[in-house]
Amino acid sequence: MSSITFIGAGNMARTIGTLAVAGGNTVEIMARDQVKAEVLAKTLGGGTTAGKWGAVPAGDIVITALLYAGVVPAVEQYGDALAGKTIVDISNPFNATFDGLAHSEETSIAQEVAKVAPASASVMKAFNTIFRNVLENGRPNVFFAGDNARAKADVAEFIESLRLRPLDVGGLKMAHWLEGMGVVTMGLAGNGVGHWDFALGVDEINS
Ligand SMILES: NC(=O)c1ccc[n+]([C@@H]2O[C@H](COP(=O)([O-])OP(=O)(O)OC[C@H]3O[C@@H](n4cnc5c(N)ncnc54)[C@H](OP(=O)(O)O)[C@@H]3O)[C@@H](O)[C@H]2O)c1
């Protein structure tokens, strides 16, 4: 089982945290508002602890469950406290009309995180293509990207502990396209699917 720290105490930290506790993982919550971290830790139960914002996370895997604009600044603020950690960015940097990305360049929040994280940290993108309500009620595929094989194996094991299917899409530069998949998911919710109770997945066709 894995040791996980969530930086952020919002909806995604609660949802993935609930699955993590049920999967037997060790969970810690850190938030800029210490009271919110403590309340969520208590809500999750199962020995979940609340750490102090900016301190060395207890978890080997650190999930930044923050609104996208806060992710790079938070990683910068943590600085060397994240040395050796696997940092998992789950954010969707949507533009104001939810039909494009907030950054116009071919980058991603995860790639920008890698520029400011300690050299010994491994950065990954995961979970961003799945609506929270689907994580709560379904068994969606979890796409992830990253450059470090060991970190990818650890995160895949964590995802399997949630009883979800991890799917490796390649190196960290693929995080940009995972963010694009987030945009596609929003487009489907507003158009062809018309609701939020679905997730993108992979159908393997056997001829
Ligand atoms: N909800 C979904 O269905 C979904 C699905 C896939 C991916 N995501 C991504 O997951 C991330 C979290 O989403 P969420 O639904 O959990 O959002 P949320 O419920 O609004 O929670 C956001 C968390 O981020 C913190 N935060 C926001 N700005 C911050 C900053 N500048 N510095 C430090 N902390 C900051 C908030 O702290 P305060 O309470 O103090 O404001 C809160 O703990 C987002 O990037 C989103 O794109 C969400």
Query: Quick one: pLDDT at residue 16?
Result: 98
Ligand 1 mutation pick, 7, 12, 108, max ligand atoms within 8 A of CB: 12
72 C-alpha vs ligand 1 centroid, how far in Å? Answer: 13
Measured from the Cα of 69, ligand 1's closest atom is 31
Residue 138 has pLDDT above 90, yes or no: no
Ligand 1 mutation pick, 16, 66, 130, 181, max ligand atoms within 8 A of CB: 66
- Residue 109, in any domain of the structure: yes
45 C-alpha vs ligand 1 centroid, how far in Å? Answer: 21
| Residue 63 backbone dihedrals phi, psi, to 5 degrees | -100, 120
d(CA 169, CA 198): 20
Residue 120 has pLDDT above 90, yes or no: yes
List the domain range (segments joined by +) for residue 84. Answer: 3-190
| Residue 12 backbone dihedrals phi, psi, to 5 degrees | -70, -35
Residue 163 has pLDDT above 90, yes or no: yes
- Residue 203, in any domain of the structure: no
The percentage of residues in the chain with a pLDDT greater than 90, rounded to a whole number, is 97
Read off the CATH number of the domain in which 13 is found: 3.40.50.720
d(CA 131, CA 56): 29
Query: Quick one: pLDDT at residue 207?
Result: 75
Judge if pTM exceeds 0.95.
yes
- Residue 200, in any domain of the structure: no
**pLDDT confidence bin for 104, thresholds 50/70/90:** confident
Query: Quick one: pLDDT at residue 40?
Result: 98
- Residue 105, in any domain of the structure: yes
